[in-house]
Amino acid sequence: MPVNADFQGRVYPPTETYRVSAAKIREFAEAVGSSDPVHVDAEVARVRGYADVIAPPTFAVLIAQQCDAQLISDPEAGIDFSRVVHGEQRFTHHRPLTAGDAVVGTLHVDTVREAGGHAMVTTRTELATEQGEAVCTATSTIVIRGGE
Amino acid sequence: MSAQSSTPAATEVRAFDSVSVGDALPARTVHVDRARLVQYAGASLDRNRIHWDERFAKEVGLPDVIAHGMFTMGSAVTLVTDWAGDAGRVVEYGVRFTKPVVVPYETGADIEVSGVVKAADPETKRVTVELTATAGGEKVLGRALAVVLLD
């Protein structure tokens, strides 16, 4: 089934709030091997000027992929998840994600295109606090491998 | 370049003036095995079976279990955050996933990560580091650029 090109340009409503916890930050930092104490020691984080422990630079993917699921799980989009490969990922941090943040994500489908028998979909998730402060822009390109 | 502790002290952010284009960051080897992938799957909520279920991975045409691209991306940038002295100083980070990291049951895999300073802007004190990550002799990340804000 081809990927539905009509989805290009689509913007989804903001997601439910994701609450960033110190426990999840610690778990994520340990999993990627980030030993900076700023992920686990609130006192270190405060000395450096943060309100609480902060997340590693790629933590935002956890929230962004939940936003992407709105597109990927939509049958009308025509995305076969078993054929999806992650092609590209980018983050622009306006400030670090911090324990205690209440974050909503707004998913934008920037491009849907075909190349060499594969489909490529680029999405952009804008993460902001419930109060509207921009925190992170996460851009992802997935490749949906063509049929054999 | 001075040696860098793997656990920087609270206020030890690298000074912009100490950095030059062409500086090499201390390289490191990231070892990844199945246990680590399960740990990352739980932490990241990315539970795709290709990252921990060998039978499933082979059924969908992969040579074996492969690491999450985001695991490679996330572990590679620790080179930059430790060098910068504060993980909160990464303002931009982007990569292309060029090859999967295959993680055999017996041996796991080693990801060799190195980095070099490509640009340093005195106006903004932003430094761009290009990362190289290889596994089994193949580049697994392409156009891997991290921008850090230094003091």
| Predicted complex ipTM | 0.95
Number of structural domains chain A divides into: 1
Q: What is the DSSP string of B22-34?
A: TPEEEEEEEEE-H
pTM over 0.90: yes
Is position A96 within any domain? Answer: yes
Is position A129 within any domain? Answer: yes
pLDDT band for position B2 (50/70/90)?
very low
The average pLDDT across A113-129 equals: 95
Question: What gap in Å lies between CA B3 and CA B56, rounded to an integer?
Answer: 43
Per-domain boundaries in chain B = 19-32+69-149
pLDDT band for position A116 (50/70/90)?
confident
Q: Which CATH number belongs to the domain containing residue A68 in this structure?
A: 3.10.129.10
- Residues forming beta bridges with residue A74, ordered by sequence position: none
* Amino acid in the structure at residue A22: A
**Contact residues of B toward A, CB < 8 A:** 6-8, 10-11, 13, 30, 36, 39-40, 42-46, 60, 69-71, 73-75, 77-78, 81-82, 86-88, 90-97, 146
B45/chain A closest Cα distance in angstroms: 7
Is position A133 within any domain? Answer: yes
Asked if the model's pLDDT at residue A35 lies above 80, the reply is yes
Give A87's contacts in chain B (Cβ within 8 Å): 96-97
Exposure b/e, B86-124, CB count within 10 A at least 16 = b: bbbbbbbbbbbbbbbbbbeeeebbebbbbbebeebeeee
Our CA dihedral for B134, B137, B140, B143, rounded to 10 degrees, sits at 70
Give B42's contacts in chain A (Cβ within 8 Å): 27, 31
- CA A103 to mean position of chain CA atoms: 12
Domain that holds residue A9: 5-19+57-144
Is position A52 within any domain? Answer: no
Given CATH 3.10.129.10, say whether it is the number of domain B19-32+69-149.
yes
Give pLDDT, residue B8. Answer: 46
Is position A38 within any domain? Answer: no
CA quadruple A47, A49, A54, A56: dihedral sign: negative
